[in-house]
Structure 1
Amino acid sequence: MVKAVVGEETQLKLAEDRLEKSSTPVQVGLLIGKLSNSLDRGFVFDLIPTPPNDAGAAPCSVLEPAKDDKRKGPKPKSQPSDSFSLSIDKDWVAEHARQVSRMLMGGMKVVGIYIWASDSAFKNSNITLCQTVMGVAKAAPLSEIDWDERLLIHICYSPRRWACRNCAVASNITSSSLRPCDFKMGRVLNSLQHFRCMYNFDIRLPIFHKNSSNLQTFSEALRHGISVHAKDLRSAKAMFDGNLDDIITSLQSRLDIICDEADGEAGPTETSGQQARDGADTQEPRDGISSETPVSQIVLQSFRQSGNLSLPRRVFVPWLAGTFVCDYLQPSETFEVLKDRCVELLSMEAPADDSTILEPEIDAPSAVTKSFWDVVVPLPSASNSCLEKSGIEKLRGESSRKSTEFSNVNIMAAGIFLLLSIIIGYILIFVRRS
């Protein structure tokens, strides 16, 4: 359990000044940092405000109490300040956390949320705040064996003070879900260490019969393969703090980006989609899959062609105190797309010089899928027939050659045996005479 939290003084003071100058009554955002189980401590590196949603609305606002028009007597001129509460777009904050978590390097995570609000509005919104923290924890898990707690920092502007609470992430939220913990500011970014490594991987995924496995689409098979590969990686010798830097997260993030884009693309029609799942024997399309179906969504048991899925390549952008954040670019995307995402999601200044952006992956990795039927039962074709014929002839040639070699060996052995017999016979005759 996190008992004390240390925040990066430089960044948190900048965030405080930014909030004060904005004159906004309320703001919600993400906490970027690290939770240490061995130290029972949390570290906060920076605060990232959640941007407006797609409709341009703020993710957080002050909710005034409902007015009772039927009440007799004169209406009050103003509502008491202790009756206000907060309204938070919990789904949008969780989506922001999901996207930001992809851009963080190993050792940095979304560890909770912060709220800039009055003391009364904060106290009247405990359940809403806990639900928001739960949504963030679900959208941006810290690890496969996830923590059951996150941080909630309240920045009160009247009077000005910082307070941190430990929020228990549980299915049932009560008033005791928030527990106070010690909070102070210091220098924590300077304590971070940088590690650089390149990791090449080759995953081969078995394809099971559809009646014996729930994995049908290519993306589902990849997700399962990554989870299995993650177990192997945990036995690696090069580890820091008992964790894998960010290899597993990087693989999962690339696949999530592909699946997100696939969900946004026009999917197959109902008829063709049903044909893909049932494996209907039709002429158009030949493989039972619509030509509009993304590669990540193909049904493996019905797919009869080879497919190539290009994974986004990882690039690194300078962030805070010599640290980096990352993003993943599709083959058609440029650095301008990268800069826009950094400004929108991380509320940071876009790098003015493109040379500061690191590109360790010159060639984007890719995932290749072969036809299910080519692997299990090859389709009859002229090329296959030729290959089979040439293979049979090759086997026959090798058998004839081996038979000839075996015969030659037998002849030599017989000759040597005959020669030895003659020599032994002369020796015996000589012995008898003497």
Structure 2
Amino acid sequence: MSVRSFLTSLKSLVDSGALLKSPLKFVTGNQSADLDSVISAISYSYFTNLKDSSEHVIPLINIPREDLRLRRDIVSVLKAHSINEDLLYFVEDFSQLIKRSKAPSQLILVDHCNLQGDEVTDAYNAKLLKIVAIIDHHADEQIALDANPRIIQVNGSCSSLVFNYWYNQIGKPTSFYTNNDVISLLLAPLLIDTTNMTAKVENEDTIAFKKYGEILLSTDNTSFNILKAYALPGAEPQVEFDIFESFYKQVKTQKKNIEGFSMKDFLRKDYKQFEFHSKTSGSTSRIGFSSLSKPFSWILKNYTKAEIIKACTELRSDNNLDVNVMTTSYTRKDNGLYAREFAYCYNSTNSNAELYAKLPEFCTVLDLHSDDLYSVSAEDLSALNTFQSNEVLILFNQHNTQASRKQVVPAVKEAIETN
């Protein structure tokens, strides 16, 4: 059964109310809803049913439906499998379904190991959800210790952990050859997260990649044909391994495609938010984190100061944030070096403004410096900070280029909670 056929069948069951006879089961990725999260959730749901056709887990994409369009890599990979958004479930759908489900519904976390998103968190706090399983590659946050499976380990891609778990659980390699179109779905996040198997590759990634290759290069293979059509449209590759690299490049191109995005779209494309509680003051800070693929020099050239400040203030208002953090990662054109920036924006009238002003002092692990900003002048920053009353936007070079959002979030969390 193809992934599309499975999702079509699942939708019929959900829409008819047939699954409401017992508590619903959901599997969700993290709030950034990147390729790894989305494919991990869909494949977990698919493999559950492949092992036991009476089991149905609803794959939840942890964003509003309208935000899927901002993730062009995901849209294009799913489209290659004839999967459109009508077959998918988003936070709006979850909010409706959870009200109709017998409590408590079951929740499986993939690509994160703690609750993310207001809708899921609110349902959990209302005792409408119980976390029953976790598969993740982030730092263990020590919740749901009785979850089964509870697989939390360093890995390039969470999707590899999901595949390897179910490959062992199903125990019939022939099932994966017969139902092989899921493999080209799984290949996409693995190649993106490991830069085409050249960076951050761990043992579980290698194991999964080897199995993917064996399945994809078998004869009469639906998944290989999908892969070929996506990677090399209208062309015949000279050698089979060309397809893997071409597939990676095509997905990466779609991931980086932000043509036509407003500044607010750019901030929402890869976004997470958290609540941190100060042990000193007892106050709570809601902080949003946007990962951006362009430097601030590019942002200042492509958006007006009004658009930048408006996007920041609207994002805070829409999500009831105190601070929005923006982290950029890019390759410098002047020297070819990989670089990162750390910026954040808040309103100076906020009751915790004094603490927020000192965030850089407390985030020492990030090694932040305000000098030698890449093609951004002091005048540019001054103009941003004086454009709208009480809005503060601060930009730094992040000399610790190894620290992605996985390290930035804990650094900010510690800064807020201990000061």
TM-score for both structures, normalised by structure 1: 0.22
Structure with more helix by fraction: 2
Of structures 1 and 2, the larger Rg is shown by 1
